[in-house]
Amino acid sequence: MSEAVYKTRRAFLIPLIAIVVLLSLLFLISLFNCQSWEIIVLAILFFASLFAGLDMAKKEIVVNDQGLKINRIFRSKEFSWLEITHLGVVVLKKKVYFLLTTTKGFYIFSNLIENHSLLVRSLVDRLGEEKVEEEVKKYLDHPLERLALIVMSWVAVVIIIATIFLRVYTIKI
């Protein structure tokens, strides 16, 4: 029985985890010398990024002979190959979203999954011609990587670090 596990790209997870850690540090610093609205805004940003980071870190797609299993932080979905009815794709510049329609509903995953082209090729091979859109097969000839979101995440890390330095510097004065 062969089983393949696909997770969120590490190149995206590392800056996302850094953002969560830095926002927690900024939140702790703000508790000592900030106005209440700043503390509330930072708390909301911290908890939203914490939830998003945990969700992205725990997200995985498992493909095996029986079917497909999608694990997230608070839920898990399993589909047999017979329950999957359609695989489609939407390409918006470098953003690629795959729509997996099943008898239990639908699921969307993007090209932020590590080795997403191998995942899609595996799905295409197991689903057959009638369940896969022609655009998915065309996409597999020229898969796209989504690097802009990773770069923007690192920019956010730099901005948060700069904000922490400014906050600490103003506290010492």
- 127 neighbors 87 (Cβ within 8 angstroms): yes
| SS3 of residue 151 by DSSP | helix
* Bridging pattern class, strands 84-92 and 95-102: antiparallel
- 94 neighbors 100 (Cβ within 8 angstroms): no
Q: Give the residue-averaged pLDDT of 134-155.
A: 89
Q: What is the pTM of this model?
A: 0.80
The CATH code of the domain at 3-172 is 2.30.29.30
1 pLDDT above the threshold of 80: no
Q: What is the pLDDT at residue 152?
A: 94
- DSSP label at residue 68: E
| SS3 of residue 39 by DSSP | helix
- 66 neighbors 80 (Cβ within 8 angstroms): yes
User: Domain-by-domain residue ranges, the chain?
Assistant: 3-172
Distance CA 89, CA 134 (A): 9
Cα dihedral 107, 113, 117, 121 in deg (nearest 10):
-40
- 146 neighbors 110 (Cβ within 8 angstroms): yes
Q: What is the pLDDT at residue 173?
A: 47
142 pLDDT above the threshold of 70: yes
| Degrees to nearest 5, angle at CA 160 with 158 and 163 | 110
First to last CA, the chain: 64
- DSSP label at residue 48: H
β-sheet bridge partners, residue 132: 87
Kindly report, residue by residue over 7-37, the tens digit of the pLDDT.
999 999 999 999 999 999 999 988 887 788 8
